[in-house]
Copies of this chain bind each other. A is one copy, B any other.
Amino acid sequence: MGSELQKGDIFQAIADPTRREVIRLLSVKNQSIAELSSHFEVSRNAVVKHLNVLTEAGLVRGEKSGREKIYQLQPEPLKELQEWLSYYEKFWYNKLTKLKYVVENDTLNK
């Protein structure tokens, strides 16, 4: 049993390949549910569920327009991901940089 179920977590949201594809599609152009669904093999309802997950993570926003609901990308939450990543960049920059980091911070243990 997971201690804390984190709804709306960005890491969770982008974990699914279908959701990443939704994000990509919306980065190209705003689309209705129907139009989005046309790009996938899975059912429209499945796509809607993914859209709900993305909405809870703040990554997309749907706006009703007549009988359609148009979704648009909301990229801000990705900043959190970038911040998380930035901490690790120093490790792979290149071997020299890494060595420098290790020496400076005495991270070579045991």
Contacts of A29 in B (CB 8 A): 107, 109-110
Q: Is A104 an interface residue (CB 8 A)?
A: no
Asked whether B88 lies within 8 Å of A27 as measured between CB atoms, the reply is: yes
CA distance A107 to B14 in the complex (A): 23
Instruction: Please tell me the number of chain A residues within 8 Å of chain B, measured between CB atoms.
Output: 35
Asked whether A81 lies within 8 Å of B91 as measured between CB atoms, the reply is: no
A78 in complex: contacting residue of B28, B85, B107, B109, CB < 8 Å: B85
Asked whether B28 lies within 8 Å of A17 as measured between CB atoms, the reply is: no
CA distance A14 to B26 in the complex (A): 23
Q: Please, could you name 11 A-B residue pairs with CB atoms under 8 Å apart, sorted by A?
A: A6-B17, A11-B20, A27-B87, A27-B91, A29-B110, A78-B88, A78-B92, A81-B81, A81-B85, A82-B85, A85-B85
A20-B84, A27-B88, A78-B91 given; name 14 further pairs at CB < 8 Å.
A3-B41, A9-B15, A11-B14, A11-B15, A12-B15, A23-B88, A27-B87, A29-B109, A73-B91, A75-B88, A75-B91, A75-B92, A78-B88, A78-B92
